[in-house]
Amino acid sequence: MKNNDSLVIVGAQWGDEGKGKVIDFLAAGADVVARFQGGDNAGHTVVYGANIFKLHHIPSGILNPRCTSLLGSGMVINPLVLLDELAELEKRGISTANLRISGKAHLIMAYHQVYDRANEEMLGENKIGTTGRGIGPAYADKALRRGLRVIDMTDSRVFRERLAQVLPLQNRLLKDAYGHEGYEFNRLVEIYRPACNKLSPMVTDTSRLLSESLSEGKKVLFEGAQGALLDIDHGTYPFVTSSSTVAAAAGSGSGLGPQCASRVLGVLKAYTTRVGEGPFPSEEKGEAGDLLRAQGSEFGTTTGRPRRCGWFDAVIARYAARINGLTGLAITKLDVLSGLETINMAVAYQCSGSTIKEFPSSIAELQKCEPAYEIFPGWHEDISRARTMDDLPQAARQYLEAMEETVGVPIELISVGPDRTQTIIRPQTYLAGWCGD
Ligand code: IMP
């Protein structure tokens, strides 16, 4: 397996870092784009000219006709949502012929969404703030070994058999613990029949396909969803998603070894946002947060929820760099900061009278942390037309240099607007090579 032309792209904050735009941009130079975790909780907004595409399961690579797009084994897939996504793309003239799905990916079933929403309701003010897509219950059923997999959909006899095995238990849980009426077997089979028919021809051994692609020296891009701080093991547990969102999951979630990619790009916004509950030390609840939300259009792609907004947090960026093994950074939405007099960057936390520079493992401790800010001068110029570092005002360059220094990882890409063209690639970086410079 050669890996010198493979790249993992992960979110290095709490998700919504603008990975969709970065991946769409880099997919132009990729032969294969593979997702390896998560489900339709993810929402990528990709802007191309006058077109806005909102994708949930499908990698942004689908917009590149010469690229193969894969849904890997580490994912959970809602077949009904995927069907809608395919129909929407096809309606707008985007071919979905190059989409391949791992048979080992697990299915999000109707009852998983019921559990997800009911669990949140029962937790009350302690809720996680999930997307309500059934992600946690689907991964829980996978771990409990009572999930249905995509491969089960390819044979109607197997699908019926597997559903018949698990549905009585699910219905009992739904009725006894959740006060839900449950699902009638034949009705559920009928609901899923169109998805079984449409998706079956797309099911492939994606591990083999990827391994062969790498051996042939093809350019493979592994597309992470959510972000480092939402990782089930390393994130702000329990306020996390239910999958492993870090770069190491690219291998396990695609059926490859850990050496499957030579480079790991961490995507970070030039500030920070979070949706859902949980600690967020550099959150700005007042005017500054409202301004970032308005200027950055910070509303969820999947749920439409207003995102919580705050300053760039170098403590979490350094932590994300470590747990992902980041080799490069992509900084998005730098243009959103234009017009601010000053810009804050959290470089450490104050906690119980001491200064800490490392991200704490304890949520209780994190909740007590106050950000220690370094304050940078802002800039007033419109930077949306900048295409090189030299096009940026001195203050913007100074802010980026400080970020690079405090995180300890080079910035390779800067995004100054939602369109593909509004992108700066640093010369002589790995990404410059990826883009053919
Ligand atoms: P779940 O993944 O729906 O279970 O949600 C768990 C947590 O992850 C919640 O705080 C969600 O808001 C957050 N989350 C899940 N997917 C995304 C995403 O794609 N972007 C940002 N946050 C997400």
Tokens 């090189």, residue located: 388
Q: pLDDT-derived band of residue 121, with 50, 70 and 90 as boundaries?
A: very high
pLDDT at 399 (0 to 100): 98
Convert the pLDDT of each residue in 285-339 to its tens digit.
999 999 999 999 999 877 788 999 999 999 999 999 999 999 999 999 999 999 9
Task: Choose the residue to mutate in 130, 133, 269 for probing ligand 1, maximizing ligand atoms within 8 Å of C-beta.
Answer: 130
* Closest CA to ligand 1's atom 5: 130
Convert the pLDDT of each residue in 326-343 to its tens digit.
999 999 999 999 999 999
Annotated active-site residue in 44, 57, 112, 234:
44
Q: Are 231 and 16 in contact (CB under 8 A)?
A: no
Whether 225 lines ligand 1, by a CB cut-off of 6 Å, is yes
Question: 417: Cβ–Cβ under 8 A, 6 or more apart, which residues?
Answer: 335, 384
CA of 241 to the centre of ligand 1 (A): 6
Convert the pLDDT of each residue in 216-235 to its tens digit.
999 999 999 999 999 999 99
Average pLDDT over residues 43-66: 82
* Residue spans per domain, the chain: 6-94+205-434, 106-202
Rounded to two decimals, the pTM is 0.95
Q: Are 88 and 118 in contact (CB under 8 A)?
A: no
Q: Under CATH, which number does the domain 106-202 receive?
A: 1.10.300.10
Question: Rounded distance, CA 220 to CA 206, Å?
Answer: 13
CATH topology of domain 6-94+205-434: Adenylosuccinate Synthetase; Chain A, domain 3 (3.90.170)
List the structure tokens of 217.
């020296």
Question: Rounded distance, CA 283 to CA 271, Å?
Answer: 10
Annotated active-site residue in 16, 40, 313, 335:
16
pLDDT at residue 4 greater than cutoff 80: no
To the query of whether residue 233 is one of the catalytic residues in this protein, the response is no
State the helix-helix crossing angle for 79-91 and 185-199, rounded to 10 degrees.
Answer: 40
Average pLDDT over residues 93-113: 96
To the query of whether residue 44 is one of the catalytic residues in this protein, the response is yes
Whether 43 lines ligand 1, by a CB cut-off of 6 Å, is yes
Q: pLDDT-derived band of residue 45, with 50, 70 and 90 as boundaries?
A: confident
Q: pLDDT-derived band of residue 203, with 50, 70 and 90 as boundaries?
A: very high
